[in-house]
């Protein structure tokens, strides 16, 4: 299926950046989960632009729950969350109808949709669609919390500056989920933001790396082939615009280790099987081992930039130049963070319910 993900809990997303509205249908969620609209709003806030380091387009992201929630609780039927588009300035985008922004999906959308796609603001490829992912994800994030499963991400690297690593996952996750610019080291945050602003002044953009931790997952969730934890998470994570790499545990660095270094030795702690290291990111053979799930996503620099770039005009069939107008972000790493958390919640809820049944979330 095309814009739908998940087997037991599934999410279908729709919408264009400058269309009537965007939204998501979240299905398969157990009945009886409390839906806190204030928490959904606060998660949407984490995705919204932050001051000078973000786009000037600020949507209110006023969402409407059209279905699936009754008297404050999920009903068990599909939850449609609709977010109307309000602050659209479509005329900014006239030029990109035929002039393809390098690094963006303009040309591939044209190739796939034969010129019928809504090109305004990136249309269905716009990062704006991730607001729908975030709203739907918020319901699942709070359901997981009630089951003792916590998700947190930080900007591990941005514009060449590293954040410090995770230390105490429990307090780190708590801290990060309150921050608009999610870093563990405030000094690193300053450097990152300065670099973002510097890029912005040059009409340019920067990227970074998000690192995510999930605590509390029971051992034994995931499938040995195809629907591995890594496979399912990466499948969904690569949907987030600009993500170009996903690695688990020690990730690419593991390829330089010896087996005797990369293997995570087991030991018993209070009759629970634990590992001394976590180079495998909490996953062996595609299945959770009960240790924290750890992964990192590479986020490329925002492709829409003001600097002049060479490109093609697909109407005139000739080479041309483009300096993108419109409103855009010099960096989306900090905004993508909550989207990563949301997608992670979706995948894990889906797999947990596959193993333990739909109602596990409210047991």
Interface residues for its own copies in 18-47 (CB under 8 A)?
19-23, 25, 27-28, 31-32
Residues 6 or more apart in contact with residue 285 via CB below 8 angstroms? 224, 228
For the bound state, the minimum distance from the C-beta of residue 147 to its own copies, rounded and expressed in Å, comes to 14
End-to-end CA distance of the chain: 30
Interface with its own copies includes 61 (CB under 8 A)?
no
For the bound state, the minimum distance from the C-beta of residue 262 to its own copies, rounded and expressed in Å, comes to 5
> Do the Cβ atoms of 210 and 340 come closer than 8 Å?
yes
* Interaction residues for its own copies, span 299-328 (CB under 8 A): 299-305, 307, 309-312, 314, 317-319
For the bound state, the minimum distance from the C-beta of residue 280 to its own copies, rounded and expressed in Å, comes to 6
* Interaction residues for its own copies, span 272-301 (CB under 8 A): 273, 275-276, 279-281, 283-290, 296, 298-301
> Do the Cβ atoms of 311 and 102 come closer than 8 Å?
yes
Q: Based on CB atoms, which residue is closest to its own copies, 43 or 234?
A: 234
Closest by alpha carbon to 141, among 27, 282, 39?
Answer: 39
For the bound state, the minimum distance from the C-beta of residue 174 to its own copies, rounded and expressed in Å, comes to 26
Q: Based on CB atoms, which residue is closest to its own copies, 49 or 282?
A: 282
DSSP 169-205: HHHHHHHHTT-SS--S-HHHHHHHHHHHHHHHHTT--
* Interaction residues for its own copies, span 123-142 (CB under 8 A): 123-125, 129
Of 42, 90, 142, 263, the one binding its own copies (CB under 8 A) is 263
* Interaction residues for its own copies, span 183-212 (CB under 8 A): 199, 202, 204-209
For the bound state, the minimum distance from the C-beta of residue 322 to its own copies, rounded and expressed in Å, comes to 9
Q: Based on CB atoms, which residue is closest to its own copies, 17 or 43?
A: 17
Q: Based on CB atoms, which residue is closest to its own copies, 52 or 111?
A: 111
For the bound state, the minimum distance from the C-beta of residue 113 to its own copies, rounded and expressed in Å, comes to 4
* Interaction residues for its own copies, span 64-123 (CB under 8 A): 64-68, 70, 73-80, 82, 100-109, 111-118, 123
* Interaction residues for its own copies, span 332-351 (CB under 8 A): none
How far, in Å, are 166, 172, 178 from residue 175 at the CA level?
A: 11, 5, 6
Spatial distance between the Cα atoms of 222 and 28, rounded to a whole number of angstroms: 18
Structure tokens at 287: 């299945």
* Interaction residues for its own copies, span 143-182 (CB under 8 A): 157-160
3-state secondary structure of 22: strand
Pairing, β 272-275 against β 283-284 = unpaired
**Tokens 């006023």 — which residue?**
62
Of 42, 90, 142, 239, the one binding its own copies (CB under 8 A) is 239
Interface with its own copies includes 270 (CB under 8 A)?
no
Interface with its own copies includes 12 (CB under 8 A)?
yes
Query: CB neighbours (10 Å) of residue 316?
Result: 10
Structure tokens at 262: 């990369």
- Backbone φ/ψ region at 240: left (φ over 0), alpha (ψ -120 to 50), beta: beta
């Amino acid at each position: 299926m095309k814009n739908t993900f998940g087997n037991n809990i599934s999410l279908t997303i729709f919408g264009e950046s400058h269309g009537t509205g965007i939204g998501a249908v979240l299905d398969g969620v157990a009945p009886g989960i409390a839906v806190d609209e204030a928490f959904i709003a606060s998660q949407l806030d984490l995705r919204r632009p932050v001051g000078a380091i973000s786009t000037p387009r600020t949507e209110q992201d006023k969402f409407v729950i059209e279905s699936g929630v009754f008297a404050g609780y999920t009903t068990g039927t599909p939850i449609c969350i609709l977010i109307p588009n309000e602050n659209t300035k479509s005329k900014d985008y006239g030029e990109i109808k035929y002039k393809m922004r390098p690094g963006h999906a303009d040309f591939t959308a044209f190739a796939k949709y034969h010129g019928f796609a809504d090109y305004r603001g990136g249309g269905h490829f716009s990062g704006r669609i991730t607001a729908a992912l975030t709203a739907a994800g918020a319901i699942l994030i709070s359901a997981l919390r009630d089951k003792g499963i916590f998700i947190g991400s930080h900007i591990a690297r941005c514009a060449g500056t590293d954040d410090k690593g995770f230390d105490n996952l429990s307090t780190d996750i708590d801290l990060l989920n309150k921050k608009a610019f999610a870093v563990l080291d405030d000094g690193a945050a300053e450097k990152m933001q300065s670099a973002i602003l510097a890029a912005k002044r040059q009409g340019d953009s920067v990227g970074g790396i998000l690192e995510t931790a999930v605590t509390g997952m029971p051992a034994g969730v995931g499938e040995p082939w195809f629907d591995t934890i890594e496979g399912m998470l990466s499948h969904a994570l690569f949907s987030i615009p600009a993500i170009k790499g996903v690695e688990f545990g020690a990730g690419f660095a593991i390829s330089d280790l010896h087996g005797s270094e990369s293997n995570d030795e087991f030991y018993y702690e209070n009759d629970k099987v634990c590992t001394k290291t976590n180079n495998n990111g909490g996953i062996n053979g595609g299945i959770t081992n009960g240790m924290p799930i750890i992964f990192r996503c590479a986020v490329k620099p925002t492709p829409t930039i003001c600097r002049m770039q060479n490109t093609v005009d697909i109407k005139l069939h000739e080479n041309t130049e483009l300096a993108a107008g419109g409103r855009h972000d010099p960096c989306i790493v900090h905004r993508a963070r909550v989207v990563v958390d949301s997608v992670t919640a979706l995948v894990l809820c889906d797999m947990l319910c596959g193993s333990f049944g739909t109602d596990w979330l409210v047991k």
